[in-house]
Amino acid sequence: MLLLKLFLKQLPLHKQVSFLKRKGIMLGTRFKEGRKIYIYMFRDLFAEILYKNDNPEELAESLKMVSGLDNLNDHLEQEFRTTF
């Protein structure tokens, strides 16, 4: 999975997002600081994507990838703790 993550990071943001939308599964959304973040999964790789105007039909602003479910859980727990 590390190779996939490294490969994707070499691509421009719009191609990373296109790959995840085509090959991955959208797990859901979460809110942070009033923004909607979309969470995708491809195999054991998870990605959070922030779109312009919080609309997945528009261009992506940013993408954060984590490998493995444990790392995703750690990331989400840390994000949750920082909101309080």
pLDDT, position 18? 97
For residue 9, what is the DSSP state? H
Over residues 49-56, the mean pLDDT reads: 97
Tell me the C-alpha distance between 61 and 76, whole Å.
20
* Domains in the chain, CATH or no CATH each: 2-82 (3.30.67)
pTM, 2 dp: 0.88
Q: Is 15 helix (H, G, I), strand (E, B) or coil?
A: helix
d(CA 28, CA 49): 11
C-alpha of 16 from chain center? 10
1-35 pLDDT tens trace: 678 888 999 999 999 999 999 999 999 999 999 99
Q: In terms of pLDDT, which residue wins out, 1 or 67? A: 67
pLDDT at 19: 97
Q: Are 63 and 49 in contact (CB under 8 A)?
A: yes
